[in-house]
Structure 1
Amino acid sequence: MTRTPSRRLLALALTVAIAAPAWAQTDVAPPPPSGPSTASSFVVGDIRVDGLQRIGAGTVFTYLPIERGDRIDQSRVGEAIRELYRTGFFEDVQIGRQGDILVVTVTERPAINKLTLTGNKDIQTEDLMKGLSEIGLSEGDTFDRLALDRVTQELTRQYNNRGKYNVEITPTVSRLDRNRVDVTIAVDEGKAAKIRHINIVGNELYEEEDVRAGWESAESNWLSWYRRDDQYSREKLDGDREKLQNFYLDRGHLDFSEDGIQVAISPDKRDMYITAGISEGEIYQVSGVEVSGDTILPKEQIEQRVFLREGQTFSRALLELSSDAIIATLSNIGYAFAQVNPIPEVDRENRTVAIDMQVVPGPRVNVRRVVFKGNTRTSDEVLRREMRQFEGSWYSQAAVDRSKVRLQRLGYFESGSVNVETEPVPGSNDEVDVVFNVTETTSGSFVFGLGYSQLSGITTSVQLSQNNFLGSGNRVSVEASRNSYLQRYAFSYLNPYFTDDGLSLGYNLWWREFDNSDFNTAQYSSTNAASQAVLGIPITEHDSFSLLFGIDRNEIFTFRGSTPDSIVNYIDAFNQRTFHAWRTEVGYARDTRNDFLQPTRGTYQRVSAEITLPGSTAEYYKLNYEFSKYWPITRALVLNTRAEIGYGDSYGSDVTRNICFNNPVQEDHDNDPETPPVWVPGADPSDPCDPSSPDFVDTVTASGLPFYENFYAGGTRSVRGFRDNTLGPREAAGNSTFLQPLGGSLKTVGSLEMYFPTLLDSPAARVSAFVDFGNVYSDLDAFEAKELRISAGVALMWRAPVGPISISYAYPLRKQDTVRGGSGDLIREGDEVERLQFTFGGAF
């Protein structure tokens, strides 16, 4: 009995010792030991929150599962602490008691003031920021150290997947006032581990070189600097493993299996060694192919879409191609969700396989709406008129694909930015919405500034050009420009949809003053003015017909002794300097290119005939043919074959005139004091001049294509590596030995150009390697293939914000060299070579 009080005191002491930490207070002692009920629970008379800085007390009360009037105990307190921690707003939470007041003391987690990424090159900052935000690390969010640790681990994993095992991720947290932090994540990517050796074990029927053809992973080679195929990546290796399986399945090896793949890394984490073990298995033949299910169309028509035949070696590629062809056929008549389920029946004893292609058409789908997203400037009407898939009609995959190509060819959107989605209509299994997502690009410009090219020098210009004027799809251009040889003022307007059927109508007005003495051509000056109307008529989806009618006036100034005699004689034959022309042009074009700015497939052809109508001062015609075809070789290579042929001649009788010195006049070259004055024929009222007259000088004849309409070649837009306009016939003026380019009536130029779309990570720039060839001839009889000039080189084209930039470096492979006699006299002047050529502010 005497020991009972001590036991009670010991129990009471233990209760107080256990309760004290849970009721932590700074200025109030634990409740007095007046009994079990007061030590473990009490009724909350009020609640106070201490330690808040940015977060409002109302936010705490929202998450706190305790209210005034509640009786709480230790379990309720623990639950409250867990709930407040779960919000993620606080680093520390303590709950104490001051009388009947529940005191909640918190330490807030800081807010992220600024999040900075440095050193990342392989992964774009925008992509990383998006990933960080999904993890919970973004500016304005509450900072969580655990989230930062997860980010470090995730970034390390992503870089490891790209073969960069030496990557170092260093996060730095800087404390700021008002409970804020700046977070900096420094990335030292290091260098990707290179694949030194790939070995396939078990390939007995095929050479390893054939098995690995098309792999993205490859051993280091001389092209790895460009392809980067020697950089190890787990994603690339997974894709290559799939290609390995496809290689054997496409050759009938149904029992093919991959026994395992081993990836070894060197101690310095720089070199990778890959070994793949395989079992090829036997080759299977196709014993039969049957089409079953609801084919919708006649079964014979569907069977024509099957490319796998009885007796052939099995090929999964042909099987998939057959399935896709059947699905495409059905989707073009409204069955957007059609499926084909190939069911193989394998006979391993006879090494054969029978295929049952079950067709499941699904419901026939009607297009409820065609929707456009992303066109902030271009009106829906402009895009809708390019549609070949219409609302209220059956869904057609071919029409959707064609609509996408037509949008890409407008030139209003970034290359490859037109994407199509088919969205089922909620509550309906036979209706869909077709959504076109676009990203608009600059379709016009207002330029007041400078341009430069080696041909024209500095160009000052004011130009307003808009291919999508006010989002209407109309093209408007107003220009005033001046450079060393040209003053030009022009206005043009084109409405590509003058009628709803696609008939286009446009107008061109321009005036220019041209000084050829600075244009690498024969030295003469001209003043031109023209007014033209252009009509375009669509014939088919790819074909169009164009008609131009215009009136122009051309006033030409020549200078004896400076201008070649053939040009002066042409002017004298007409006995006037001003040429008027009623001009018409008929053209036909076929365009199947897939993109306006940077096509990767398709063909462009155009043939045109231009003629000045009877009654014009000079009567002539010009024929021109242009051809360009894009061949997609691989994802990283696109070949463009390009050619242009032009020919012109006069029609009707030649113009002939006798020249007599009748009242000769002195022509003084005021603009060139070093050139002495010369005597030129004066007006001859008795024209035609009598050849028997003592004043008779010469008979001049104007025939063929007028010199001011001649074709020219050489330079950035024809045969690169040769100075602009300098190829073809030349002629000296007077006693000068300097040969001036005349151009010619026959032009033949062409090019083979390989584009590297993925070399530069920019849709606005492209790099290419090219071979150009061509020349200009005086007429058809002068054509000789051995006179074609050839050059090869590389080029960079960039649609920069300040204007288009084109740079090329070409090396002439075939050119004409200068030949001199033993005494140093010039026998034949060579071509003018210009290897580095560039333009800034001109069109590509």
Structure 2
Amino acid sequence: MTRLPTRRLLCLALATAIAGPAWTQEAPGTATAESPAAQPTAGSPADASFTVSDIRIDGLQRIGAGTVFTYLPIERGDTVDQARVGEAIRALYRTGFFEDVRVGRQGTILVVTVTERPAINKLTLSGNKDIKTEDLTKGLNDIGLAEGETFDRLALDRVTRELTRQYNNRGKYNVEIDPTLSRLDRNRVDITININEGKAAKIRHINLVGNEDFEQDELIDSWESAETNWLSWYRSDDQYSREKLEGDREKLRNFYLDRGYIDFSEDSMQVAISPDKRDMYITAGLTEGEVYEVSSVELTGDTVLPKEELEKRVLLQPGQTFSRALLEFSADSITTTLANIGYAFAQVNTIPEVDRDNRKVAITLQVVPGPRVNVRRIVFRGNTRTSDEVMRREMRQFEGAWYSQAAIDRSKVRLQRLGFFETGSVNVETTPVAGTTDLVDVVFDVKETTSGSFVFGLGYSQLSGLTTSIQLSQNNFLGSGNRISIEAQRNVYLQRYAFSFLNPYFTDNGLSLGYNVWWREFDNSEFNTARYSTTSAAAQTILGLPITENDTVTAVFGIDRNQIFAFDGVSPQSIVDYIDAFDTRTFHAWRGELAWARDTRNDFLQPTRGTLQRVSAEVSLPGSTAQYYKLNYEFSKYWPLSRRFVLNTRAEIGYGDSYGDDVVRDVCFSNPVPLDHDNDPTTPDILVPGPAPSDPCDTTSPDYIRTITATGLPFFENFYAGGSRSVRGFRDNTLGPREAASNSAFLQPIGGALKTVGSVEMFFPTLLDSPAARVSAFVDFGNVYRDLDSFDAGEMRASAGVSLLWRAPVGPITISYAFPLRKEDSDEIERLQFSFGGAF
């Protein structure tokens, strides 16, 4: 009897709730507090639907009412019921602009009350070192988390998962992602994502099971993943990465397929991690299978060219062990050959027929040339400074001509060798023209780099006083490709003013024309050379003519004037004698130079392959004060050993001598007179010049006649070695012959007529994660000799060290540290050497 009243009360309460107005609705999961303006009007169930006379939007701050009306599926005059209200709430919530949406009525006015999601004012990432901030920011943008965007709290959870996944793929399983939120005024938030990357898990052991014909070390030699070893600090190959392991699995499969193991299979690949997530253990199960031999190779399809010509490109022949690498190379060679004559989309389908009983494989190469295409347009993108004309004249692929892959590849190399673009930034894309099958556009994407330098120096020392220097050079002046340089330098021992200009395309066929003009006052003793000073000036004209794609001939003609000041007792005696033999301090020269250069390097700034050779012959023409010649040969070759290592071998040989008759002169000298400079009979006297000799010389007096001869290369044209540009670890210009003044025991470097220097340098392109920097280890060797007869390989000097070249935003910086390997006690050692210049 007691349960009946209870049931009646429950039914009565339920009926009352259903009969009441149901207009206040909200988005799921939000609070239920209502605005007074949104209080529903009481009524019966019959009043649940009504016609909207007006719509009011409350709670807007940044978003305009028009935006809400755009997404709201209710307009004035519509009849609204609960279903329409629910639809409206869902529509507004889907926009992502609001974190709370409520709909109510005030009479016949529909009232929509919203709470906007805050806007992201600032997004900060901290603690990330392994992944660049710009890469992380791009990933955050993809999931809707960016400055200025509407903040969605759920996005933070997605960010944490995404960043964790990225770091896990790099082997960092201890990564911690801690996003924090700071609320600001005007409904804004600052988001800070603190990242504790932790350390990457190390590969402690790799175990291959099932390999019988090959040792494990041979199989994993080319892997990017490796057990911890003594080079791991550099190569980071012991850091586990899922992407690296996938690539290594493909290398393992290629290893066997390239050796004929067609049935090779990887049965399992297990990766185990230690409880502390610091150590990884990789185990792979293999089935090698049998070695297959090629039974036949057949070329089918539309070969376009004579079949015999394409068959020469096939390296895999019957009777050989099957090799997928040779098969792919043969197919690529055929497609490249067809691409060079216009068939840009040629394909070669390789169809193997495997006879497992006899372990033979028959190969069919089906050639599908596709349509022959013309190049409609060549487009350049990214050259904000360099004009299209400068780039277009380097093209070997022309508009309106048949497509040629070889010409496009050569055009790319020529652009890279200009030196106007970042290393590796020249990319080529071939895009078909819409609506056609025989036209394509070739697009060259480039990224410009600094092509000029601005060097400014200001300093003070007791030796030289105030020093100022300024040099402005631009290899791409105003984007025209012309090279211009202006230099002004001044201190107590040097004044120099110079101007040079070169137009590499003075004519359309590539004839270059340039000019050099300079004037200089120089005290050579401050340049680590013999003590004498010069005042010189020169003017030159330069002509260059390309004779092949890689070969250039250059001719230089000019006139120069060199006034030399050397003094007895201060300058080396050979220099004083040379000047006295000519009976003049001013040397004039009509100078000519002819040079040949071959350059096959793939890049101007940081080449990784190719050779540079240069042979030059310089001669002072008849009519010059001194008649001489200089020969020089330079060689540099880059050997790409792998992705991580590039070997560079360099050598330079220079030789000079006089031609014609020697200059011989009888000179009247006064005998030097001893002087007791300290009134101490136990110390040696010094010699000072005696009384001025009479004219003509009186052989009975203290005067005497001495015959002097000027021969060989003039001392002011000597070669020098030592320093950052030749043999590092030794002071600039200090290697080679030395000579003292007549009254001194101090030996001064005077250079020589024969120069032999060389270097073996290993570059590590990937050691620094920057295309503008590279590190190298080197061995330098060389010396300078007085003449050809003085050459002695045992006198060679050598050094070894490391070097850093960085094209920094403020300028190119070169730093080297070297240890001399072969030296003499009298050599001047300078282990740390650097040079600096600004760039723009």
Match of 2:640, SS?
A: strand
Shift of residue 608 of structure 1? 0.4
Structure 1 SS opposite 2:641: strand
User: Residues 567 and 9 (structure 1 numbering): CA distance in 2 closer, same or farther, change over 3 Å?
Assistant: closer
- Alignment correspondent of 1:107: 115
Matched residue SS, 1:587: strand
Change in 2 beyond 3 A, CA 1:555/1:22: closer
Deviations 1:323-382 (Å, cap 9, x if unpaired)?
110010000000010000000000000000000000000000100000000111111001
Cα distance in 1 between the residues matched to 2:694 and 2:335: 81
Q: Which residue of 1 aligns with 2:830?
A: 834
What's the CA shift for 1:204?
0.3
C-alpha deviation, 1:835, in angstroms: 1.4
In the alignment, which residue of structure 2 is the partner of 1:173? 181
Offset of residue 680 of structure 1: 8.2
| Matched AA of 1:758 | T
Q: Name the CA distance, whole Å, in 1 between partners of 2:9 and 2:621.
A: 131
Corresponding letter in the other structure for 2:212: E
Matched, 1:595 2:603: yes
| Pairing of 1:223-262 with structure 2 (within 5 A) | 223-262=231-270
Cα distance, 1:839 vs structure 2: 2.0
Q: CA deviation at 1:131?
A: 1.3
Aligned to 2:155: 147
- Of residues 791, 799, 804, the one that matches 2:812 is 804
Find 1:428's aligned residue among 436, 443, 465.
436
Instruction: Please say if 1:497 is aligned against 2:502.
Output: no
Asked whether the 8 Å contact 1:421–1:436 carries over to 2, the reply is yes
Q: Which one-letter code corresponds to 2:18 in the other structure?
A: T
**1:635–1:679 distance in 2 versus 1, CA, 3 Å:** farther
Counterpart in the other structure of 1:183: 191
| Corresponding residue SS for 1:653 | coil
Counterpart in the other structure of 2:46: 37
**Partner SS, residue 622 of structure 1:** strand
Q: Following superposition of structure 1 onto structure 2, how do residues 198-213 of structure 1 map, counting pairs within 5 Å? A: 198-213=206-221
1:824 aligned partner: none
Shift of the 682–126 alpha-carbon distance from structure 1 to 2, 3 Å rule, reads farther
Matched, 1:537 2:545: yes
SS at match of 2:173: coil
Q: TM-score, normalised by structure 2?
A: 0.93
Aligned residues: 814
- Local SS of the residue matching 1:766: strand
Matching of residues 326-725 of structure 1 within 5 Å: 326-450=334-458, 460-483=468-491, 485-661=493-669, 678-679=689-690, 695-725=703-733
Q: From 317, 322, 326, give the equivalent of 2:330.
A: 322
Q: Is the 8 A contact 2:453 2:837 kept in 1?
A: no
Residue 484 of structure 1, CA deviation:
5.9
> What is the CA-CA distance between 1:7 and the residue it aligns to?
12
Q: CA deviation at 1:732?
A: 1.1
- 1 CA distance for matches of 2:509 and 2:691? 58
Identify the range of structure 1 (732-741 vs 771-780) with the bigger mean alpha-carbon deviation: 732-741
- Using a 3 Å threshold, how does the CA distance of structure 1 residues 425 and 448 change in structure 2: closer, same or farther? same
Q: Which moved more, 1:235-244 or 1:475-484?
A: 475-484
Asked if 2 retains the 8 angstrom alpha-carbon contact of 1:368 and 1:431, the reply is yes
Q: How far apart in 1 are the matches of 2:750 and 2:373?
A: 64
- Looking at structure 2, the residues matched to 21 and 237 of structure 1 have their Cα atoms a distance apart, in angstroms, of 57
Counterpart contact for 1:338–1:359, Cα < 8 Å? yes
| Mapped contact 2:670–2:702 kept (Cα < 8 A) | no
Bigger mean CA offset, 59-68 vs 732-741:
732-741
Q: CA distance change for structure 1 residues 167 and 452 in 2, over 3 Å: closer, same or farther? A: farther
Residue 90 of structure 2: which of 82, 88, 102 is its match?
A: 82
Gaps of 5+ in 1: 666-673, 818-829
Partners of 1:278 and 1:385 in 2: how far apart?
55
Write the distance in 1 (CA, Å) between the matches of 2:503 and 2:23. Answer: 86
Shift of 1:255: 0.4
Distance 1:375 1:311 in 2: 53
In the TM superposition, residue 97 of structure 1 has moved relative to its aligned partner by: 1.2
Post-superposition offset of 1:797: 1.6
Distance 1:456 1:550 in 2: 32
Normalized against structure 1, the TM-score is what?
0.93
Shift of residue 521 of structure 1? 1.2
Match of 2:137 among 113, 117, 129: 129
Separation of aligned partners in 1, 2:410 and 2:459: 38
Partner amino acid, structure 2, of 1:804: P
1:193 matched residue in structure 2: 201
**Which residue does 1:820 correspond to in 2?**
none
- Structure 2 letter corresponding to 1:13: T
Pairing of 1:3-82 with structure 2 (within 5 A): 12-17=15-20, 19=22, 22=25, 26-27=35-36, 30-34=40-44, 36-38=45-47, 40-82=48-90
Structure 1 contact 340–359 (Cα < 8 Å) conserved? yes
| Distance (Å, rounded) in 1 between the aligned partners of 2:54 and 2:220 | 75
CA distance in 1 between counterparts of 2:58 and 2:787 reads 97
**Paired residues of 1:484 and 1:518 also in contact (CA < 8 A):** no
**CA distance in structure 1 between the aligned counterparts of 2:686 and 2:429, rounded to whole angstroms:** 72
- Tell whether 2:775 aligns with 1:767: yes
Q: Relative to structure 1, is the Cα distance of residues 675 and 834 closer, same or farther in structure 2, using a 3 angstrom cutoff?
A: farther
CA distance in 1, matches of 2:160, 2:61: 29
The superposition leaves residues 683-736 of structure 1 with CA deviations (integer Å, 9 ceiling, x where unpaired) of: 96x7xx898998433110000000110111111111111111111111111131
| In structure 1, C-alpha distance between the alignment counterparts of 2:424 and 2:302, rounded to whole Å | 37
Structure 1 residue 452: deviation in Å?
11
Shift of 1:804: 2.4
Contact in 2 for aligned 1:607/1:626 (Cα 8 Å): yes
The equivalent of 2:680 in structure 1 is none
Structure 2 vs 1, CA of residues 812 and 32 (structure 1 numbering), >3 Å: closer, same or farther? closer
Distance 1:145 1:356 in 2: 59
CA contact (8 A) 1:664 1:681 kept: no
1-structure distance, mates of 2:316, 2:528: 62
Superposed CA deviations along residues 480-504 of structure 1, whole A, max 9, x for unmatched, are 0135643210000000000000000
Distance 1:479 1:145 in 2: 60
Hey, what does 2:788 align to over in structure 1? 780
Structure 1 position 6, deviation (Å): 11
- Describe the SS at the equivalent of 2:729: coil
Matched residue, 1:670: none
Q: Is the 8 A contact 2:24 2:104 kept in 1?
A: no
CA RMSD of aligned residues (A): 2.5
- 1:556-590 CA-partner distances (Å, limit 9, x unpaired): 00110011111111111001100000000000000
CA gap of 1:229–1:722, structure 2 versus 1, over 3 A, is: same
Amino acid corresponding to residue 75 of structure 2 in structure 1:
E
AA at the equivalent of 1:585 = E
Q: Secondary structure at the match of 1:715?
A: coil
Tell me, what secondary structure is at the counterpart of 2:830?
Answer: coil
The answer for unaligned runs of 5 or more in structure 2 is 27-31, 674-684
The 8 Å contact of residues 451 and 841 in structure 1, kept in 2 or not, is answered as no
Give the 3-state SS of the residue equivalent to 2:22 in structure 1: helix
Worse overlay, 441-450 or 307-316:
441-450
Q: In 2, Cα distance between the equivalents of 1:789 and 1:452?
A: 33
Shift in CA distance, 485/224, structure 1 to aligned 2, threshold 3 Å: farther
How far 1:831 sits from its partner (Å)?
A: 1.4
The amino acid that maps onto 1:735 is N
Compared CA separation, residues 660 and 29, structure 1 to 2 (3 A): closer
